[in-house]
Structure 1
Amino acid sequence: MIKLYEGGAYLIGGKKLVKDGPEAAAEIERSAGRAVSRAEAAKNTMAYGILKAHNTSDDMENLKLKFDAMASHDITYVGIVQTARASGLERFPIPYVLTNCHNSLCAVGGTINEDDHMFGLSAAKKYGGIFVPPHLAVIHTYMREMQSGCGRMILASDSHTRYGALGTMGVGEGGGELVKQLLEKTYDVKRPGVVAVYLTGTPHPGVGPQDVALAIIGAVFRNGYVKNKVMEFVGDGIENLPVEYRNGIDVMTTETTCLSSIWRTDGKVKEYFEIHGRPEAYRELNPGEVAYYDGAVVVDLAAVKPMIAMPLHPSNVYTIEELNANLADIVDAVEKAAAKQMNLKNLDLGLRERIADGRLMASQGFIGGCAGGTYDNVADVADILEGHQLGSGEFSLSIYPSSQPAYLGLIENGAIPKLMTAGAIVKTAFCGPCFGAGDVPAHHGFSIRHSTRNFPNREGSKPSDGQIASVALMDARSIGATALNGGRITPATDLDVNYTKPKYFFNKAVYDSRCYNGFGKADPEAELKFGPNITDWPQMSPLTNDLLLKVVSYITDDVTTTDELIPSGETSSYRSNPLRLAEFTLSRKDPGYVGRAKAVQKYEKARLAGEDFLDGELSAAYQAVKALGFDSRPEATGVGSVVYAVKPGDGSAREQAASCQKVLGGWANIAREYATKRYRSNLINWGMIPFTYQGEPGFQLDDFIFLPGIRKAIAEGDSTLTAYVLGKGTFEIGLPELTEDERQIVLDGCLINYYRGQ
């Protein structure tokens, strides 16, 4: 089903994939009529060409990229605009789309979220943006329909920013990187490696894009095969996939931890742009005659079977056939792994009690969002459910078409009536169930979802209140098949279905009649509309010469997700209020963190105010510093908190995973490695140092770490620094490799200070 190459590979003539070595050299000579070096062939990938076209420097090893368009949704754009505004924003220099698909319910958490929407509309008018009102489209569907284009690059403040199947390299990042683009700066990154994803064969009926995506994720996530690289989809199997099928695979590449993706384009992509009234957006993209890749993933589409990603990660994959054959063992393994991952010894997801007659029973199904709510997915499920009734039992099915144009098309082709009369609940475009703000299952519920993630609590449960549920990821077709069986997990390949594949007709009038398109029409006199829950960022101080850090959270899990760093779901209402949102930081992973961080922050606040702050604990710490021979003046030494985690930052691009730590006085993270570039970038943009340390740390929770000369070390680009664990010893801490701008951002204390200084 999936084969990974060890080492590099060459794609010759767009068809033949050959492992790097003597055989490849001979094959290249026969095909090209000459020898082609690896360096030359590496420039023949589609990714290289697009990156070069967007690079504003002459250095292709250290890229400075400018994007063609950007997008944010309503739990990120307020903070981004506020940050850019504080940094001197005058207008949006490129199309910037403000969508409203995350905070659409307008009442989660008890705040008035509609204030955020009014702020977004006023910002679009003032700065010249594009505003998509709630329920019209989820962020990535709108960007596919209206902003993608072959050879383009799009940056968005959402991790699932993937438009590769449409010839567009999408990058999901934290808000700081979008602020840089708004201020006409660049996205700085080392040229990423490129891995070929070679698709061959044709999927069997009933096997959908989520099945292919989960198979790939299962093969490459844990080994880091494509981490921070570009996945470049090639091979003869592409022509056997409809464009929306390709989109469904593509959007899930985020769960591999790759940086971006790009696909070969063809006549089907050309037709997609014609249907959407943008024929000029198409051009054919192919690798060069001889292209070199840093690795290759070969996928036999004909061998892919219906898959399920069991809790608590998209990489925890099995075929449904395998699950049903080894159910008790797999459920037992999942329960034990969940208890370990969530640090709850007595945790019980309730999966064992959901086994009936040897089959696992789901309580709820969800199909929607950027991965599941596509026209093709919903149309196929309608064909599965046509003429059937789901009944009045426990199992419920919710379907959210991912845009109003898609919804309209599904009404016109008769799919929506089929779904509704079968008992499915059809709702408007909304991402909430993907992150725990809608369709929250009951205690010990088991929800199967064609969505993007099944991280802990991402379905909305609250273990601290004694309520726990879990999510498995499946393809829409197998969810439809399961719905027919009353919730009994069933692969769609067990059914004999006539998939009608109705043609899609896009109606742009849905957007024209409601969306605000103000790009190029900024009105500086327009007033921003603020609500009581929209606040400015607090003041943040620059990095001092020396630094005293207290370890306020010590996390030993293999991976720490951004959902664990700052929970999704009920926190959505506070995304525009940094101080209130910060109260939720690490609340599900380390409930004591906020109190410990605040206790340290009070020292720094007192120091900055010129007050006496040397109580017993801190006085003892400075006596220990003095005993080491350092003459570090307390009033000139920054005091802050630090979080240790083995591998933090997997998952969402949300900058609040870092900014909330900063708001609470955080000055650094220490990790063996950072799960994603975007989390590392978020730390830097908020003036936090992403330290590294290999091996078992010589410090523990509540220890003080003294870092003499940290400002000088950062300024000069040192790679290591001697750190002193007061009362215990020393260790060499790894300093991050930073660009010149990134060094200055850290020295200034955050991105806002950096731009104010300019």
Structure 2
Amino acid sequence: MITLQSAGVRWQKGTPVPASVASPADREKTMAYQIFRRHNQREEAGQLHLKFDSLISHDITYVGIIQTAKASGLKEFPVPYVMTNCHNSLCAVGGTINEDDHVFGLSAAIKYGGNFVPANQAVIHQYAREMMSGCGRMILGSDSHTRYGAIGTMGVGEGGPEIVKQLLKNTYDIASPQVVLVYLTGSPAQGVGPHDVAIALCGAVYKNGFVKNKVLEFAGPGIAGLPMDYRIGIDVMTTETACLSSIWETDGAVEEYLAIHGRPEAYEALHPQEGAYYDSMITIDLSKVEPMAALPFHPAEAYPIRELMANPGDIFREVEKRAAEQFGGKVNLSLTDKLVDGKVVVDQGIIAGCAGGMYDNIAEAAAILDGHDVGSGYFSLSIYPPSVPVNLELIQNGVQQSLLQAGALFKPCFCGPCFGAGDVPANNGLSIRHTTRNFPNREGSKPGDGQLSGVVLMDARSIAATARNHGVLTPATEADYVPPKQGKRTFDTQVYDRRVYFGFGHPQPEAALKFGPNIAEWPPIPALADNLLMQVASVLRDPVTTTDELIPSGETSSYRSNPMKLASFALSRRDPDYVPRALDTQALETARQAGSLPAQVQEALEKLGQGSLAPAAFQIGSVIFANKPGDGSAREQAASCQRVLGGCANICYEFATKRYRSNCVNWGMLPFTLAEGDAFTCQPGDFIYVPDVKAKVLAGDDTFPALALSGGTVTPLTLYLKNTTGEERELLLTGCLMNHYAAQNQG
């Protein structure tokens, strides 16, 4: 089904052939580097400095982005910046604060010249596909699933500060990434959908880091037989492989897609040039892909549904064991309770958002359910279309009516089920979802309160087949149905013409921003001191720590416009003692700033051999240790919440994603790493002293000798700050991106 080749390959006459050596010019022949060169603003060996064609954010990121940009000197949006409202769009949590954010967003679009998509009109990535994509373009989004490669557009998902840099006419700076060829052959069987391919891909490459921070370039004869929605459905899930971005060959299907969406001029044929060199290759034989399930708690926990049905007890017991280890026995997940007469019975089905809510997925689900129903038991089926134009097409073609008659429910254009703000399962419920993620806590459960549910990712087709059997797990390949005909697609742009505010190029600087009572400015962030005394606030030993654990989603998302209020939820579902510990450390720093050293600090300094250190000569901050932090969402708040609580660094063996490391740097938190094999024995409350930290960051040093005080014993500890650019060091020195740009404006 999927094979991995770590050795290089060269593109010759439409076919990859082994290649051991490549010149720089050969790498430039890939589609990825053809696009990079169009957007690169400065030539520098091994580095890219990119400006994007357009930017996009949603309503749990754009308020903080605009507040940061405003504090950094923003006057107007220099490129099209689209603000969608598809995350906090229920307006049902926290009183008026969600709608207050939407009012703020529209006022910002008016003032700075942006485009504003009202609530429930479209989910962020569908709007970008329909209205912003184009062959050879690049789009930066403050959402990790910013992926438009199937339409010939390189999408990159990053934290809000990277959007701020673009709004301030600066560049997105990265080391030149490797490019991995994804070579597609064959045609998928009936009942096998894009999520099956995507889950199989995640299972093959995530855990081994095969594509981490690289670009996936899709090519090969298998593309031609895939409809656009199918390609898009695979592409959006490339985020879960930990790659940087993606790009696909384009053809007549892409040309037709762009023409239907009113942008025929945006089409361009994209193909690898003859002799293009790839650092490695993934081959996917689509004809061998079968219905897949991604078990809790990651899209890479991939199993064929066939295997799950054949051996559910042993497989579910392994999931239960992992859950018990992850949550320390505080809460139990009992998936084996879902076995009835040897069959797996699920409680809920969801088809939603940027991955599942495609027209083709929903139409295929309707065909599978035609003449059947979802039953009147515990099982329910909810469907969230990705945009009003798609929903209109579903209505006009009778698809929505057919599904409603079968007992499915249609919901707004809303991303909620993906992050725990809609259709939250019952405690110990088992939900099957064509959404992007199934991390713990993400679907809305709260382990700290004894609430935990399981989400299994599956394709819409197998979800519909399971619904047809009233919740008994069934792969779509076992359902007898007539697939819907692939007719000519339509798109009614009048929906957006009438409701979207198109303000790009027409800023109104005299217009006022409209603030609700929950919208707060960022608190002052200190610059880096000469020396650093860190107190450990949390130690996380899990193999990977997600951003959903660092700052939970769901109802907490409503407070993302209030930095201090949101910070009170940091690590609340993983380490509830983190916030009190961080605040205690912050109180020590407050006392130091006032010129006095608490006895706890003075005692620690004396044991560390620094008893004579004056208060003005150092800084106190909290630090989190995690083995591999930052998998998943691009949300900057995973870092900013630590920062406003006085966090000064993260210590880890490696960062799960480039975007989380960037978030730490942009918020002035030192991204320290340990050498593989070096033990980290500190516990919460212990101190770590890093001398001459400011001078070493300024000099570009990558090795930081430190002293750890644990249990009254001082031991040496070597921290590393590797692959840090000059601009990143400047951000760390000034304290955060906001300070850096504010200082530039004052200068």
TM-score (norm 2): 0.98
Match of 1:124 among 109, 116, 122: 109
Deviation at 1:109, TM superposition (A): 4.1
Per the TM alignment, residue 634 of structure 1 is displaced from its structure 2 partner at its CA by 2.2
Distance 2:97 2:545 in 1: 31
Partner of 1:224: 209
Q: Residue 379 of structure 1 contacts residue 502 of structure 1 at CA under 8 Å; is this kept in 2?
A: no
Matches of 1:632 and 1:155, distance apart in 2: 45
1:503 offset after TM fit, Å?
Answer: 3.0
For 2:117, give the aligned amino acid.
V
User: Could you tell me how far apart the structure 2 residues matched to 1:6 and 1:752 are?
Assistant: 41
**Structure 2 equivalent of residue 34 of structure 1:** none
Residue 346 (structure 1) shift: 5.2
**What amino acid is the match of 2:281?**
A
Determine the C-alpha separation between the residues in 1 that align with 2:437 and 2:324: 19
Query: In 1, distance between residues paired with 2:733 and 2:431?
Result: 46
What SS does the aligned partner of 2:492 have? coil
Report the equivalent of 2:13: 13
SS of 2:223's equivalent in the other structure is helix
Q: Distance in 2 between matches of 1:55 and 1:353?
A: 55
Helix, strand or coil for the counterpart of 1:290?
Answer: coil
**C-alpha separation in 2, matches of 1:438 and 1:183:** 35
Cα separation, 2, equivalents of 1:496 and 1:291: 44
Deviation of residue 60 (structure 1)?
5.0
Shift of 1:40: 2.6
User: How much does 1:701 deviate?
Assistant: 2.4
Offset from partner CA, 1:628-656 (integer Å, 9 cap, x none): 5x753223311010000000000000000
TM-score, normalising length: structure 1: 0.96
- Tell me whether 1:671 sits opposite 2:652 in the alignment: yes
The residue type paired with residue 743 of structure 2 is G
The answer to whether 1:730 aligns with 2:702 is no
Matched with 2:334 is: 350
User: In structure 2, what is the equivalent of residue 690 of structure 1?
Assistant: 671
Instruction: Report the equivalent of 1:616.
Output: 599
Alignment of 1:49-448 (within 5 A): 49-59=34-44, 61-110=46-95, 112-341=97-326, 343-345=327-329, 347-448=331-432
Aligned to 1:748: 734
Whole-angstrom CA distance in 2 between matches of 1:450 and 1:355 = 22
**1:596-607 mapped onto 2 (5 Å cutoff):** 596-607=581-592
Amino acid at match of 2:730: Q
Partner SS, residue 240 of structure 1:
coil
Instruction: For 2:507 and 2:160, locate their aligned partners in 1 and report how far apart those are by CA, in whole Å.
Output: 21
Please, which moves more after superposition, 153-162 or 387-396? 387-396
Deviates more, 1:92-101 or 1:38-47: 38-47
Paired residue secondary structure (1:105): coil
- Aligned partner (choices 688, 703, 710) of residue 693 of structure 2: 710
CA distance in 1 between counterparts of 2:487 and 2:322 reads: 43
Instruction: State whether residues 546 and 632 of structure 1, in contact with CA within 8 Å, keep that contact through their aligned partners in structure 2.
Output: no
Post-superposition offset of 1:616:
2.4
The 8 Å contact of residues 179 and 279 in structure 2, kept in 1 or not, is answered as yes
Cα deviation 1:187-241 (Å, max 9, x = unaligned): 0000100000000000001100000000000000000000000000011000010
Q: Report which stretch shifted further, 652-661 or 390-399.
A: 390-399
C-alpha deviations, 1:38-97, integer Å up to 9, x for none? Answer: 433211100011011100002252111000000000000000000000000000000000
The residue aligned with 1:33 is none
**How many angstroms apart in 2 are the aligned matches of 1:718 and 1:636?**
20
Q: 2:97 aligns to what SS in structure 1?
A: coil
1:646-691 deviation digits (Å, cap 9, x = unpaired): 0000000000000000010000000000000000000000000000
Contact 2:531 2:693 in 1 (8 A): yes
Structure 2 CA distance, aligned partners of 1:38 and 1:364? 53
Residues 566 and 346 of structure 1, relative CA distance in 2, 3 Å threshold? closer
Distance 1:479 1:92 in 2: 42
Residue 44 in structure 1 maps to residue 29 in structure 2: yes
Q: CA deviation at 1:107?
A: 2.1
Distance 1:455 1:502 in 2: 37
Distance 1:472 1:108 in 2: 26
Aligned to 2:558: 573
- Find the counterpart in structure 1 of residue 618 from structure 2: 637
- Residue 452 (structure 1) aligns with: 436
Distance, in Å, in 1 between the alignment partners of 2:565 and 2:404 is 40
Question: How many angstroms apart in 1 are the aligned matches of 2:68 and 2:592?
Answer: 26
Please give the per-residue CA displacement for 1:719-750, whole angstroms capped at 9, x wherever unaligned: 10110113321121101322221111110001
Is the CA contact 1:622–1:634 (under 8 Å) kept in the aligned structure 2? Answer: no
Equivalent residues of 2:186, 2:287 under 8 A apart: yes
Output the CA distance in 2 between the equivalents of 1:320 and 1:111.
Answer: 43
Report if aligned partners of 1:552, 1:593 keep a CA contact under 8 Å in 2.
Answer: yes
**Matched-pair contact (CA < 8 Å) for 1:107–1:573:** no
Residue deviations 1:168-204 (CA, integer Å, cap 9, x gap): 0000000000000000000000010000000000000
Deviation of the 1:390 alpha carbon: 1.6
- Contact 1:310–1:472, Cα closer than 8 Å, also in 2: yes
Alignment CA distance shift 1:322-1:113 (3 Å):
same
Deviation at 1:611, TM superposition (A): 4.6
Write the distance in 2 (CA, Å) between the matches of 1:437 and 1:683.
26
Aligned-residue offset at 1:20: 2.5
In the TM superposition, residue 349 of structure 1 has moved relative to its aligned partner by 1.4
Shift of 1:337: 1.0
Q: Distance in 2 between matches of 1:147 and 1:57?
A: 25
Alpha-carbon distance in structure 2 between the residues aligned to 1:661 and 1:84: 20
Q: Secondary structure at the match of 2:591?
A: helix
Task: Write the letter of the residue equivalent to 1:667.
Answer: C
CA shift digits 1:420-450 (9 cap, x unpaired): 0100001110001100001011111100000
Are the equivalent residues in 1 in contact too, given 2:331–2:451 (CA < 8 A)? no
Partner of 2:454: 470
Q: Provide the C-alpha distance between the structure 2 equivalents of 1:499 and 1:184, rounded to a whole number of angstroms.
A: 48
Alpha-carbon distance in structure 2 between the residues aligned to 1:132 and 1:470: 33
Deviation at 1:13, TM superposition (A): 1.6
Amino acid at match of 2:742: R
Deviates more, 1:736-745 or 1:170-179: 736-745
User: Partners of 1:109 and 1:482 in 2: how far apart?
Assistant: 36
Tell me if structure 1 keeps the 8 A contact 2:595–2:616.
Answer: no
Contact 2:6 2:279 in 1 (8 A): no
Matches of 2:18 and 2:203 in 1, distance apart? Answer: 22
Task: Give the drift of 1:464.
Answer: 2.0
Aligned residue pairs, count: 738
Match in the other structure for 2:474: 490
Task: Work out whether residues 199 and 294 of structure 2, in 8 Å CA contact, stay in contact via their aligned partners in 1.
Answer: yes
SS of match in other structure, 1:730: strand
Describe the SS at the equivalent of 1:236.
coil
Do 1:689 and 1:736's aligned partners in 2 also have CA atoms closer than 8 Å? Answer: no
> Any idea what SS the aligned residue of 1:170 has?
strand
**SS of the residue aligned with 2:659?**
helix
Between the aligned partners of 1:557 and 1:539, the Cα distance in structure 2 is 32
Say whether the 8 Å CA contact 1:108–1:437 is kept in structure 2.
no
Q: Check the 8 A contact 2:375/2:407 in 1, yes or no.
A: yes
Aligned-pair CA distance for 1:698: 4.1
